Structure 1
Amino acid sequence: MQTVPVLLRLPTVMKITGLARSTIYKLMDQREFPQQVKLSRRAVAWPQAEIQTWVETRSRVQ
């Protein structure tokens, strides 16, 4: 059985990571943060699994 990927909008990503919007986009430009998925012309989101993996990886580095 396939699971449907959960997509997170920016406010949720900010809350989970503790990062500001500008920091998230700066890290994305540097390829150090998961890339967003375009939902529509004006809406984007991030795959929950990728955000969780990023957070886990960062907590091991510190």
Structure 2
Amino acid sequence: MVAAVQQDRFLRFGAVAEMIGLSRSTVWRMEQEGKFPKRVQLGSKSVAWRQSDLNAWMSAR
């Protein structure tokens, strides 16, 4: 039997804002202070956050 591997999802800012209720500028400031998960560069003009990182951050709060 093969174990199922759960893939991490990448969430764009709209989904992140809906999930955590913070503004774009607050998220940016908290990232700079090391108080929020770092974004991942997906392309030259595209960023997202790992859902697992956000879940861990919310659990730790």
TM range (shorter): 0.7 to 0.9
1:46 aligns with 2:30: no
Of structures 1 and 2, the larger Rg is shown by 2
Unmatched tracts of structure 1, length 5 or more: none
Instruction: Report the TM-score when normalising by structure 2.
Output: 0.88
Q: Percent identity?
A: 31
Equivalenced residues, count: 58
Structure 2 counterpart of 1:24: 27
TM value normalised by structure 1: 0.86
Using the alignment, how far apart are the partners of 1:18 and 1:3 within structure 2? 26
- Hey, which of these two has a bigger chunk of helix by percent? 1
Which protein is richer in strand relative to its size?
A: 2
Q: RMSD value over aligned CA atoms? A: 0.9
